[in-house]
Structure 1
């Protein structure tokens, strides 16, 4: 089983990432951190297999933390999970050995693909020698390109990720706009704009709730 650490300052995204990872029996989340310094202190003393790492964090950025880890000989594989999509950040992460880079928001299937690629590479390096075919189809075969989901103008990727994280934390529950707004700290009007976008993308569905007496209420739910 591959030991995994999540370093992410947004607790809702941390819960979502943990939920994704724990759906895969090959992995176990052993620690989560919301800032870089405690993560660095712990990782110096505890060898692990995989780090799920955000870029935008207090104390130091994810790429600065990755640079420090490499300088100190921490060789855990890293999957970046972040809203940072500028060329410098991506290139820095790749140069420092990130094995995959996921731009928020993304589908669960893309996260699972990143875990699959990690596992194939880990399994392949157990060999005594390599043929060119093995190299081409394991170590150097990149994950199939998946274009990042870019919300339309006026919608923010981080806000969209927070809403999705809240919904995925209770995937069987029906949610009203008021409930979502209260949990993610947005106005009801703003939440409805994001929910309309998620409905257009077939991420969520909606239906009328008639259990509120004479007042009709629209509720949202995750599509399976």
Structure 2
């Protein structure tokens, strides 16, 4: 079953990019693009079969959370993924409280976007397959699909699952963040190779990047398992 998506984004270039990303995803289709809260509300009123909204928080005629409140008050039960540059913890908390199922921070890469929608698709598939009452493990599985680790996403060309598992194991065992050089030494690979896997994990949300200062020269990037 195709998941119909409404893109709500005021910036024209970003709106086109997000719509193009959706169209690249198998099982998803763009139901429309709205450039304001009012336009989004009109679209959803006219097309109640939209199942997913990609919602920017900064809209020209109001905040994304305000739009979400209006949608719920009007009886729209579509799922919402926040696609935004809003990093304020209060905004994140309010978004979660109002039922946002995923939170995607700008700027992001295609692999990160793909992973989020794949997680959502897995959730929808389990939800659709369930009939009647569900057991605790089924609920856990559905909700867990929304936050699955990015290591299960399709790997870019030239990357192997075994090397990814090695990098993941090293990061999980570390007490603090590791540099690409340290990971390379641990798995017996080159720094360039280790960095490629680390960046993939960071792009898919499993690893956090942070600067690490010490010694002379430019700071290193430390990678920490979330």
Normalising by structure 2, report the TM-score. Answer: 0.62
Match among 133, 136, 141 for residue 137 of structure 1:
141
Are 2:43 and 1:42 equivalent residues in the alignment? yes
1:181-220 aligned at under 5 Å gives the runs none
Aligned to 1:110: 112
Distance change (3 Å), C-alpha of 1:146 and 1:55? farther
Aligned mates of 1:105, 1:148 — CA distance in 2:
15
Aligned to 2:53: 51
Aligned mates of 1:116, 1:78 — CA distance in 2:
14
The answer to whether the Cα contact below 8 Å between 1:6 and 1:18 also exists between their aligned partners in 2 is yes
The answer to whether the Cα contact below 8 Å between 2:127 and 2:142 also exists between their aligned partners in 1 is no
Structure 1 residues 72-116: Cα deviation after superposition (integer angstroms, max 9, x where no partner): 110111111000010111111111111100110112111111111
Uncovered stretches (5+) of structure 2, i.e. residues with no partner: 150-204, 212-220, 222-226
Aligned to 1:183: none
Aligned mates of 1:12, 1:148 — CA distance in 2:
27
1:1-224 aligned at under 5 Å gives the runs 1-47=2-48, 48-126=50-128, 127-128=130-131, 129-141=133-145, 142-144=147-149, 145-146=205-206
Q: Secondary structure at the match of 1:130?
A: coil
Distance change (3 Å), C-alpha of 1:104 and 1:138? same
Uncovered stretches (5+) of structure 1, i.e. residues with no partner: 152-200, 202-224
The answer to whether the Cα contact below 8 Å between 1:114 and 1:143 also exists between their aligned partners in 2 is no
Normalising by structure 1, report the TM-score. Answer: 0.62
Aligned mates of 1:12, 1:131 — CA distance in 2:
44
Aligned mates of 2:90, 2:51 — CA distance in 1:
26
Distance change (3 Å), C-alpha of 1:115 and 1:97? same
State the superposition RMSD in angstroms.
Answer: 2.1
Aligned mates of 2:15, 2:69 — CA distance in 1:
22
Aligned mates of 2:30, 2:42 — CA distance in 1:
17
